[in-house]
Structure 1
Amino acid sequence: MRTFSPQLLRQARRDARMSQEMLARKTGLSRAAIAAIEGGVNVPLCNTLALLAWALCKTEAYFFADPVQTTEHLMPIARNG
């Protein structure tokens, strides 16, 4: 399952050369709300995510990361010989 990535939001904002305040003004959100989302304190609702995507010229899907794949559950294979 893909999850929202605050880091991708922060990176997209920085790539757009926008401050949190500039993004807040463009979306109508507060700077505190932007900071809380980027800090991972809050996860944006669908309509908020759509606003952020529009303001940063991204798709909503851009802000979702694939889960980290681990190999901890794998058992080593015994080799004959």
Structure 2
Amino acid sequence: MSIEGYYKYIIVSGGIGKEGFDEAKVMKEYLVNKGIPSEKIIEDNNGYNSSMTAQNTRDIMTSLNLESVMVITQYFHITT
């Protein structure tokens, strides 16, 4: 798995779920195990809902001077 030519960074977002896991940290670990360089993955540990994730992503993008984003999600987050 490679992000070369597709994305400069990957933002993983989530909070501590009811299972007790830090969702962003778990997603980052998964991606690192698949060969994505750790320094290319930005953790948003305060993405407790879809709205917060969107706001946090906007702030991260502003701080890194990024102009576009591709959103990859799951059905649960887009049903409303």
Q: TM-score, normalised by structure 1?
A: 0.27
The structure with more radius of gyration: 1
The structure with the greater share of residues assigned to helix is 1
Higher normalized contact order (CA 8 Å, seq sep 6+, divided by chain length): 1
Q: TM-score, normalised by structure 2?
A: 0.27
